[in-house]
Amino acid sequence: MFRLPAPGGHPPRGPDHFAICRLISRKPPRDKRLTGAADGYGEPVSTYLDHAATSPMRSEAQDALLTELGRVGNPSSQHRAGQRARRRLEEAREELAAALGAHPGEVIFTSGGSEADSIAILGSLAARLERPRSLISAVEHPAVQEARGRGAEVLAVNSRGVVEDTTWEAADEKVAVISVVRVNNETGVIHPLDGLIAASSRTGAWSHSDAVQALGHVPLDFHATGLDLMSVSAHKIGGPVGIGALVVRRGVTPAPIGLGGGQEGRIRSGTLPVALAASFAAAATAAVAGLEAESERLVALRDGIRETASACGGRINGENCAPHVVSATFPGIRAQDLLFLLDAEDIHASAGSACRAGVYRPSEVLLAMGAPEDEAMSTVRFSLGHTSGRGDVDRLREVLPVAVERARAAG
């Protein structure tokens, strides 16, 4: 049975709200709709198109996690159990570093991509007090936006979601760190790094990129990029939730932003989760193996979603996008209404707008790209991953036209 969100979770109820509820209530019984694998909570999932939010765990990652969960030992302890845990932790670090094109000593484990971003920005500002400024693009993840500091300057982007070459002139010797997302988490736009690296080399500012959505989807080699700092996360590539990494080029020393034992190169403190690290490494290895073939497979699926969205009146946002993300704006439709209707048919996607404290707001990414506020509130993100297949695209092609029509009628 479909359950309405708790009061206060969405805009005040009115005619539109109840219209959507009536439309959802007309859906056929569950046993007469397409259903697929269970989601782990006993609920069938027909079409999962939200891999950019989190991706199902890969079998390799599950195996590594379960193996380590059966063992004991704090990797900071000196006894044999602790040292065995330390060896396994360092093996995971080496494996992850190889997948990232980095040296093992450059990999700092964190609790996820958001913490890695926070350390990169706040840690750089704290370590370089003589450089009180930071520069970030207007399309960064909230973890970067909110950590940018008082002396921050936002770099405008064009309609393609990319910083123009002339904009980099804002960088000077007072800038501690410059951050540009490698693959945007909402639109999938691949941002070139050459302007960032050139500005960093010219001014001495440290360069950082949030590569959470890049890992496993576009070629990613830390040393080849020329970056000083790079953030990645496990659960976006089929690894476990609760672990990520900040890759820190040797010679770059961001200050710690939390107190404790300084277990990770005195940059990050806390007892290290060996099981999560091993699982992350296994997922990363699997994600980068056969990357070219997997990208081609996802491009074909992505293009199918784009065609379906366009046929329903949707406009695709961004150019030069990663193979796994489709951002589509449906003018005249509220994204949350469309998502309710899709969810009622076991199709799972996300809004292009952020929901914080129960209040829907237009996507800052799309606004920065020049989209009107109403269109920024009418955008849906479909994202693919390692479990996606042609059946997912076919199911969306079957359901989306009717869902769009009903959402538009309700609005």
Tens-digit pLDDT profile for residues 79-120: 999 999 999 999 999 999 999 999 999 999 999 999 999 999
| 276 and 297 inside one domain | no
Position 7 in a domain: no
Position 274 in a domain: yes
| 296 and 392 inside one domain | yes
| 127 and 262 inside one domain | yes
Position 261 in a domain: yes
| 276 and 339 inside one domain | no
Position 370 in a domain: yes
| 262 and 192 inside one domain | yes
- Expressed as residue numbers, the domain containing 367 is 15-45+290-410
| 267 and 306 inside one domain | no
Burial of 98 (0-12, 13-18, 19+ CB in 10 A): middle
Position 397 in a domain: yes
Burial of 217 (0-12, 13-18, 19+ CB in 10 A): buried
pLDDT (tens digit, 9 = 90+) per residue, 170-225?
Answer: 999 999 999 999 999 999 999 999 999 999 999 999 999 999 999 999 999 999 99
Query: What's the domain count of the chain?
Result: 2
Burial of 287 (0-12, 13-18, 19+ CB in 10 A): buried
pLDDT (tens digit, 9 = 90+) per residue, 272-308?
Answer: 999 999 999 999 999 999 899 999 999 999 999 999 9
- Final residue before a domain boundary, out of 272, 288, 304: 288
State the CATH number of the domain containing residue 301.
Answer: 3.90.1150.10
State the CATH number of the domain containing residue 273.
Answer: 3.40.640.10
| 241 and 311 inside one domain | no
pTM over 0.85? The answer is yes
| 269 and 306 inside one domain | no
pLDDT (tens digit, 9 = 90+) per residue, 319-330?
Answer: 999 999 999 999
CA atoms within 13 A on the CB side of 87: 9
| 284 and 326 inside one domain | no
CA atoms within 13 A on the CB side of 191: 32
- Final residue before a domain boundary, out of 270, 288, 306: 288
| 88 and 209 inside one domain | yes
Q: Exactly one of 21, 312, 321, 355 is catalytic; name it.
A: 355
Position 51 in a domain: no
| 96 and 127 inside one domain | yes
| 334 and 193 inside one domain | no
- Cβ atoms of 366 and 317 closer than 8 Å: yes
**Catalytic residue at 355?**
yes
